[in-house]
Chains A and B, each alone.
Chain A
Amino acid sequence: MKIISLASRNIKEVYRDPVSMLLGLAMPIALLILFSSIHKKVQLDMFSPQTLTPGIIIFCYAFMIMFSAMLLAKDKQSALLTRLFTTPLKPSDFILAYILPFIPLALFQTGICLIIGAILGATYQNLILACIIFFFTAMICICLGMILGSFFTVNQVAGVGSLLITAIGLFCGAWTPLKMMGGVFKTIGYALPFAHAVDASKGLLTGSSFSDILGNFYFILIYALVLFVLAIFSFRWRMRRR
């Protein structure tokens, strides 16, 4: 009940800014349509909706880092959070209440991308298993946002968030397979969870079994859990610094 109350208020705050939300949703759709039209002319597999859809879904979660970090950073600036710190809410309650509003957004974003991808010609297998991968990847991004929001101000979040989005775009392998890039790019890319998420979801949607992507799944799961715990600790640190 406590978490739901704060989460409902946060949902209102998030959806009060429809421009950002529309941008977050319109961007993947625009990218899918753009690359599909290129694919029709050039017939490159990396631009086909089948290959591109999972990567675009993962890349677009990166925008949620910015949205979630902004929400927390803005509340941190206002005295509302000070008041909430004097209520019996624990750091884990706060983090859950800030994470919850972004889950429906992630689901909606994923659903829209999958539908547009299907309209453009993609076919899906193991959809539910792929959605599990998408869910944990979205959690990674939201928790990253919580960590940024705990440490940085609104202005700093804008800068650091943009850097992270660019880095995720570069290292997730959505646009150019990391195996093609090789070297340091490949090493860094596979040290992060996003390339694993792209590989796993792409594999599942094209018919690989769950056991084929188990290594990638554990990698993503561990990242999600560690970042969730880190988000709670960074929020606790923020509460004490107040």
Chain B
Amino acid sequence: MENTSIAIKTNDLTKRFGKRNAVDAINIEINHGEIFSLLGKNGAGKTTTIKMLCCLLRPSSGSAEIMGYDIRKSPLEIKRIIGVSPQETAIAGHLNTKENLLLIGGVFGLKRGLSIERAKNLMELMELEDRKDQAQKLSGGMQIRLSIAIALMSEPQILFLDEPTLGLDPHARKSVWNYINKLKREKTILLTTHYMEEADSLADHIAIIDNAQIITSGTSAELKHKHESIQSLKISADDISSDILDGLKNKGMEVISTMNSIVINSVELDFYSIINYLQTKNIKIKGIQMQEPTLEEVFLHLTRKEVKNENH
């Protein structure tokens, strides 16, 4: 086993179902202790990627290594060092919280005493210690916390979280984020999500996956910087009529008007042409502010471009 700082590495990892590529030659490198987020729409290939890395699916081509173990050659070794929280809340519904944790402890061959101790610690960490009822009776947020706790029961080096907050209300989502943040630096985490805010606030590194391919990657700041051409310009002014808004829209810009300001989104803003245009219309500009793109804008811009390219 190679001793490097890389915990997960894929090399042109591909999965085909019939003629369709579910994952198409993706290359990622995840360092130890890093939270890496695969951000993408439904059906982009996130779950298939995780399933291959967890040795649930065999890749059609390409390769991947988890802590130096090849996913094709050493599935059992990999399964000993990973923890997985699948997209569906994978719990034994008729067992209670503690029994669920002890089941997984037993399956990993932990001694009873150690299992009980870990279960107690994890229930404390995830604030589940008072729950003695069947797991199926817990709220959605609690079930997900239990699912993550189960994934942590074997003290894995690598944790796979497949859409951990899917379908949760904002409060429950925030609370799950807190628990994931508690694991930061202790575990290498591969997190899939389609919530931009989730990737932005949790991940050290983000890869945007669309149509089975990774179309860009970097830290959140790097992605925003890399795509800073997707800026928006906020102009504060009085008396902006609908004619003027139409005029800007005719120049191919996306214009949102509010009470005393307009926000112009465009891939490549021609700052001077906008100001000139407004001045020719005798608009008195009170303020101008350039806004950095949000991760959501970067994502929408990139994935929209992919759709356009496909249509062409």
B76–A88 contact, CB under 8 A?
Answer: yes
Q: Is B84 an interface residue, CB under 8 A from the partner?
A: yes
* Nearest A residue (CB) for B82: A86
B90–A79 contact, CB under 8 A?
Answer: yes
Q: Is A89 an interface residue, CB under 8 A from the partner?
A: yes
Taking the nearest CB of chain B, how far is it from the CB of A58, in angstroms?
31
Q: Is A211 an interface residue, CB under 8 A from the partner?
A: no
Q: How far is the CA of A87 from the CA of B154 in the complex (A)?
A: 9
Number of A interface residues at 8 Å Cβ cutoff, please give it: 24
B56–A79 contact, CB under 8 A?
Answer: no
Q: Is B58 an interface residue, CB under 8 A from the partner?
A: yes
Q: Which of B245-275 contact A (CB under 8 A)?
A: none
A6–B103 contact, CB under 8 A?
Answer: yes
Q: Which residues of A contact B57 (CB under 8 A)?
A: 242
B95–A82 contact, CB under 8 A?
Answer: no
Q: Which residues of B contact A87 (CB under 8 A)?
A: 79, 104, 107-108, 154
Taking the nearest CB of chain B, how far is it from the CB of A72, in angstroms?
14
Q: Indicate whether A88 sits within 8 Å of B90 (C-beta atoms), given known contacts A2-B106, A6-B107, A9-B95.
A: no
Indicate which residue in B51, B86, B102, B106 contacts A83 across the interface (CB closer than 8 Å): B86
Q: Indicate whether A88 sits within 8 Å of B150 (C-beta atoms), given known contacts A16-B94, A242-B56.
A: no
Taking the nearest CB of chain A, how far is it from the CB of B145, in angstroms?
15
B91–A2 contact, CB under 8 A?
Answer: no
0/1 interface trace, chain B 70-96, chain A, CB 8 Å (1 if under): 000000100110101011111111110
Q: Which of B90-120 contact A (CB under 8 A)?
A: 90-95, 99, 102-109
B95–A12 contact, CB under 8 A?
Answer: yes
A85–B56 contact, CB under 8 A?
Answer: yes
Taking the nearest CB of chain A, how far is it from the CB of B75, in angstroms?
9
Q: How far is the CA of A73 from the CA of B12 in the complex (A)?
A: 35
Indicate which residue in A6, A83, A89, A240 contacts B150 across the interface (CB closer than 8 Å): A83
Q: Which residues of A contact B103 (CB under 8 A)?
A: 5-6, 8-9
B108–A82 contact, CB under 8 A?
Answer: no
Q: Which of A55-104 contact B (CB under 8 A)?
A: 78-80, 82-90
Q: Is A212 an interface residue, CB under 8 A from the partner?
A: no
Indicate which residue in A82, A90, A242 contacts B88 across the interface (CB closer than 8 Å): A82
Q: Which residues of A contact B240 (CB under 8 A)?
A: none
* Nearest B residue (CB) for A97: B107
Taking the nearest CB of chain B, how far is it from the CB of A70, in angstroms?
14
**Prevailing SS type, chain B contact patch:** loop
B107–A79 contact, CB under 8 A?
Answer: no
Q: Which residues of B contact A89 (CB under 8 A)?
A: 107
A88–B79 contact, CB under 8 A?
Answer: yes
Q: Determine the interface band of chain B, counting residues with CB < 8 A from chain A.
A: 20 to 34
* Nearest B residue (CB) for A242: B56
* Nearest B residue (CB) for A84: B107
Q: Indicate whether A83 sits within 8 Å of B109 (C-beta atoms), given known contacts A9-B95, A12-B95, A88-B79.
A: no
Q: Is A19 an interface residue, CB under 8 A from the partner?
A: no
0/1 interface trace, chain B 271-292, chain A, CB 8 Å (1 if under): 0000000000000000000000
Q: How far is the CA of A13 from the CA of B135 in the complex (A)?
A: 14
Q: How far is the CA of A8 from the CA of B80 in the complex (A)?
A: 21
B95–A78 contact, CB under 8 A?
Answer: no
Q: Which residues of B contact A12 (CB under 8 A)?
A: 94-95
Indicate which residue in B76, B82, B90, B99 contacts A80 across the interface (CB closer than 8 Å): B90
Q: How far is the CA of A13 from the CA of B92 in the complex (A)?
A: 10
Q: Is A4 an interface residue, CB under 8 A from the partner?
A: yes
B80–A88 contact, CB under 8 A?
Answer: yes
Taking the nearest CB of chain A, how far is it from the CB of B96, in angstroms?
11
Q: Which residues of B contact A2 (CB under 8 A)?
A: 106-109
Indicate which residue in B76, B90, B99, B106 contacts A82 across the interface (CB closer than 8 Å): B90
Taking the nearest CB of chain A, how far is it from the CB of B13, in angstroms?
17
* Nearest B residue (CB) for A81: B90
Q: Is B54 an interface residue, CB under 8 A from the partner?
A: yes
Q: Is B55 an interface residue, CB under 8 A from the partner?
A: yes
Taking the nearest CB of chain B, how far is it from the CB of A82, in angstroms?
5
Q: Is A1 an interface residue, CB under 8 A from the partner?
A: yes
Q: Indicate whether A6 sits within 8 Å of B79 (C-beta atoms), given known contacts A12-B94, A83-B150.
A: no
Taking the nearest CB of chain A, how far is it from the CB of B155, in angstroms?
13
Q: Which of A1-26 contact B (CB under 8 A)?
A: 1-2, 4-6, 8-9, 12-13, 16
> 7 smallest A-B Cβ distances: which pairs?
A5-B106, A79-B88, A79-B90, A83-B90, A86-B84, A88-B79, A86-B54
Q: Knowing that A6-B106, A83-B150 touch, tell me 16 more A-B residue pairs with CB under 8 angstroms.
A: A4-B106, A5-B105, A6-B103, A9-B95, A79-B87, A79-B89, A79-B90, A80-B90, A80-B92, A83-B84, A83-B86, A85-B56, A86-B55, A86-B79, A87-B108, A87-B154
> Which residues of chain A have a CB within 8 Å of any CB of chain B?
1-2, 4-6, 8-9, 12-13, 16, 78-80, 82-90, 240, 242
Q: List 9 A-B contacts (CB under 8 A).
A: A2-B107, A5-B102, A78-B88, A82-B90, A86-B86, A87-B108, A88-B76, A88-B108, A89-B107
